[in-house]
Structure 1
Amino acid sequence: MSNSFNRRQWLQAGTALAAPVLLPAAFAAPLSRLVLAGPPAIVSAPLIHMAQGNALAGVAAKTEFVPWRDPDQLRSMAIGKKADILAMPSNVAANLYNRGAGVRLLNISTWGALWIVTRDGARKALADFKGEEIAVPYRGDMPDLMLQLLCARQGINARRDMQLRYVPSPMEAMQLLITRRVRHALLVEPGVSMALRKTRSFPVSVVAPELHRGADLQQEWGRLFQRPPRIPQAGIAAVGAVRDQPEVLSAVQQAYAASVAWCRANPLECGRLVAQYVELLTPEAVADAMPHSQLGAVDAQAARADIDFFFQQLLAQDPALLGGKLPDAGFTGG
């Protein structure tokens, strides 16, 4: 699939790309290249917009986006310094940091985009899926660990009390669901919206949809832990040499926040950008996903209380998820 981009075509289509972040005149010569990387999820949409709009021209002569397909590839890219800014689950960032991989979390930008999508509209809570087969992506990683955590909190052993069918990626879980090989799948936006679109289960005016939004894991989190239904699920992190370049990090954070705002204000145009990188997604599905994704960049230090509460639950479940301990202040640049 080509990642080429015709700026003039997008401008003619009405897509206003992010303006480059301007830096003080004293800043040194820009980097020759800045590589942004992310998964086929909403967290990557602002990174794609930044790369396509050359929003970091003030710090890098060239900015490009590359996708990662699964957490193993993500870890390889981070450890091998194959990207400078990576969108990643918050626990993966902490695990890498605690293992000395040289990672600094910049923000939390996805506050929950996980749902069990089902053919049975009567199933609305996790407990309703006991005994059922569920397609689950990324075994041992987000979103599997969220399913395990929320089930355990209410006395359900997910691996014993449910039939978990693990698959390599959310897109594969979605494919199993829409081809009727499973009745339920744990999906992350925009895969949820894509599944609903593929089966003509959206918009809500559909009289008899094939698929339904079942258990909302964000609502389960809020109910079970008596907190707002917001999970510090994923954000962007700096790796390698850029961690020690505050002007670059500041430019990245400003541009990412601006691109988040643009994506939320222009969901269909954002969808057109994202669809260039994820073949199974359509612009309309990405646009549908925006209201359900809780996309909003919060500086990692400002989000630290939410992050630490989430991490404490993961530590109690399995310390290895975080590399054995809560990350210290250096994890968020404190």
Structure 2
Amino acid sequence: MHDHFLSLQTPLSRRQALALLAVPMAAPLAAPAWAATGAPLPQITLAGPPAIVSAPLIHMAETHALQGVAQRTVFTAWRDPDQLRMMAMGGKADVLAMPSNVAANLYNRGAGVALLNISTWGSQWVVTRDAARKTLADFKGEEIAVPFRGDMPDIVLQLLAAKQGLDPLRDFRIRYVPTPMEAMQLLITRRVSHALLSEPAVSLALRKTRSFPVGLIAPELHRGADMQQEWGRLYQRPARLPQAGIAAVGALRAQPEALAAVTRAYAQSLAWCRAHPMDCGRMMARHIDLLTPEAVADAIAVSQMDAVPLPQAREELEFFFGQLMARNPGLLGGKLPPAAFYTPG
């Protein structure tokens, strides 16, 4: 059933594992009073994709926001969901930004994942050369470059297509590519006319083709279907999706004070990024190749970013997971996550 989702179980190759990126470690800092019962961890590794969800993680590392939890805090990037899964299950990171369904899948498979929040509620668009195409149905019969086969944002595309009676693999010509940046490159080099992208790849594509800021006589690229608006319209719900958040793995899950510190620091760093978009852009561009400060600032302006603790996000997650279960239970590891999933720590 739906064999195009089988990439969820694809093992990571040795070559992919060796491709993990690292950044220099920050200087060690002293532990605060609450850590007196046990020495702070030598290091906490934060990991995330080249997407807007990682901006607060990078800020946390650069500002030593977890100095009470660990002597050093570093950020490392994951390139694709297979690499993410390897890092989560192999102890290569302590806190990872991940799609919500991946967190549920790993939890149900006993991988030891504690999802802490949902912070990304809307950052996906079909970017197009045709300004007249505004809804997903407008792209029927068209070729669309789509990254991460069987994962976000492919999952969202398939749900929204099926909800309006479209077969995602027959009514569109889906051109799967490994990463969002590769989809973006196909678009800006005119090898495709449409691509499903998440921020900041959307803003980067618009900047690279001089299609933004608005006001050009004939911009080359346009924001076409807003996937969040499509979700709200088709499901009669708010136009926001519980797409991704941060999760703790390994021994960190057994330290409630540390989990609370991570959750608090992420929310504070997200607030800083929203208040200082260009500074955040410069910071993020230092850690992730291809990104520019301007594109990150643009992405912050349009993305629905809100660090909602997991218990408060439960209702929207349960609805989203219910849609995934109806389409393909394998996306969640075969079952809905239990109540304990929503009470980390």
Instruction: Work out whether the TM-score is over 0.5.
Output: yes
Identity of aligned residues (%): 69
Q: 2:242, 2:282 → 1: CA distance?
A: 26
- 1:281 equivalent to 2:281? Answer no
Residue 43 of structure 1, aligned match among 43, 49, 53: 53
Cα distance, 1:23–1:96 mapped onto 2, change above 3 Å: farther
For residues 60-85 of structure 1, what are the alpha-carbon distances to aligned partners after superposition, in whole Å with 9 as ceiling and x for unaligned?
A: 00110000000000000011111000
Q: 1:22, 1:145 → 2: CA distance?
A: 43
Give the C-alpha shift of residue 3 in structure 1. 3.7
TM-score by length of 1: 0.93
Q: Which residue of 2 aligns with 1:212?
A: 222
Q: 2:292, 2:327 → 1: CA distance?
A: 36
Alignment of 1:214-293 (within 5 A): 214-293=224-303
Q: Partner amino acid for 2:92?
A: K
Cα distance, 1:185–1:247 mapped onto 2, change above 3 Å: same
Q: Which residue of 2 aligns with 1:297?
A: 307
Q: 1:129, 1:51 → 2: CA distance?
A: 41
Give yes or no for contact 1:37–1:85 (8 Å, CA) kept in 2. yes
Cα distance, 1:130–1:29 mapped onto 2, change above 3 Å: same
Q: 2:264, 2:227 → 1: CA distance?
A: 30
Give yes or no for contact 1:264–1:290 (8 Å, CA) kept in 2. yes
- 1:74 equivalent to 2:81? Answer no
Q: Which residue of 2 aligns with 1:93?
A: 103
Q: Which residue of 1 aligns with 2:175?
A: 165
Q: Partner amino acid for 1:110?
A: T
Q: Partner amino acid for 2:142?
A: E
Q: Which residue of 2 aligns with 1:181?
A: 191
Q: Partner amino acid for 2:302?
A: H
Q: 1:235, 1:23 → 2: CA distance?
A: 29
Give the C-alpha shift of residue 331 in structure 1. 1.5
For residues 208-231 of structure 1, what are the alpha-carbon distances to aligned partners after superposition, in whole Å with 9 as ceiling and x for unaligned?
A: 100000000000000001010010
Cα distance, 1:184–1:25 mapped onto 2, change above 3 Å: closer
Query: RMSD between aligned alpha carbons?
Result: 1.8
Alignment of 1:137-156 (within 5 A): 137-156=147-166
Give yes or no for contact 1:23–1:247 (8 Å, CA) kept in 2. no
Structure 2 unaligned segments of length 5 or more: list them: 1-20
For residues 13-67 of structure 1, what are the alpha-carbon distances to aligned partners after superposition, in whole Å with 9 as ceiling and x for unaligned?
A: xxxxxxx996636553211110100000000000000001101001100110000
Give yes or no for contact 2:24–2:74 (8 Å, CA) kept in 1. no
Q: Which residue of 2 aligns with 1:62?
A: 72
Residue 312 of structure 1, aligned match among 313, 322, 341: 322
Give yes or no for contact 1:46–1:260 (8 Å, CA) kept in 2. yes
Q: 1:114, 1:22 → 2: CA distance?
A: 40
Give the C-alpha shift of residue 329 in structure 1. 1.9
Q: Partner amino acid for 2:162?
A: A
Q: Which residue of 2 aligns with 1:12?
A: none
Q: Partner amino acid for 1:46?
A: P
For residues 226-283 of structure 1, what are the alpha-carbon distances to aligned partners after superposition, in whole Å with 9 as ceiling and x for unaligned?
A: 0100100000001000001001101101100000000000000101111112211100
Give yes or no for contact 1:3–1:276 (8 Å, CA) kept in 2. no
Q: Which residue of 2 aligns with 1:127?
A: 137
Give the C-alpha shift of residue 158 in structure 1. 1.1
Q: 1:88, 1:23 → 2: CA distance?
A: 31
Q: 1:187, 1:223 → 2: CA distance?
A: 20
The SS at the match of 2:68 is coil
Q: 1:48, 1:25 → 2: CA distance?
A: 24
Q: 2:25, 2:273 → 1: CA distance?
A: 17
Give yes or no for contact 1:315–1:322 (8 Å, CA) kept in 2. yes
Give the C-alpha shift of residue 4 in structure 1. 4.9
- The alignment covers a number of residue pairs equal to 323
Give yes or no for contact 1:120–1:212 (8 Å, CA) kept in 2. yes
Q: Partner amino acid for 1:147?
A: L
Q: 2:165, 2:32 → 1: CA distance?
A: 52
Structure 1 unaligned segments of length 5 or more: list them: 8-19
Cα distance, 1:21–1:327 mapped onto 2, change above 3 Å: farther
For residues 162-197 of structure 1, what are the alpha-carbon distances to aligned partners after superposition, in whole Å with 9 as ceiling and x for unaligned?
A: 000000000000000000000000000000000000
Moved over 2 A (4+): 1-7, 20-28
Give yes or no for contact 1:21–1:251 (8 Å, CA) kept in 2. no
Q: 1:4, 1:160 → 2: CA distance?
A: 47
Q: 2:26, 2:212 → 1: CA distance?
A: 31
Q: 1:105, 1:196 → 2: CA distance?
A: 33
Q: Which residue of 1 aligns with 2:44?
A: 34
Cα distance, 1:23–1:51 mapped onto 2, change above 3 Å: farther
Cα distance, 1:48–1:21 mapped onto 2, change above 3 Å: farther
Q: 2:192, 2:257 → 1: CA distance?
A: 48
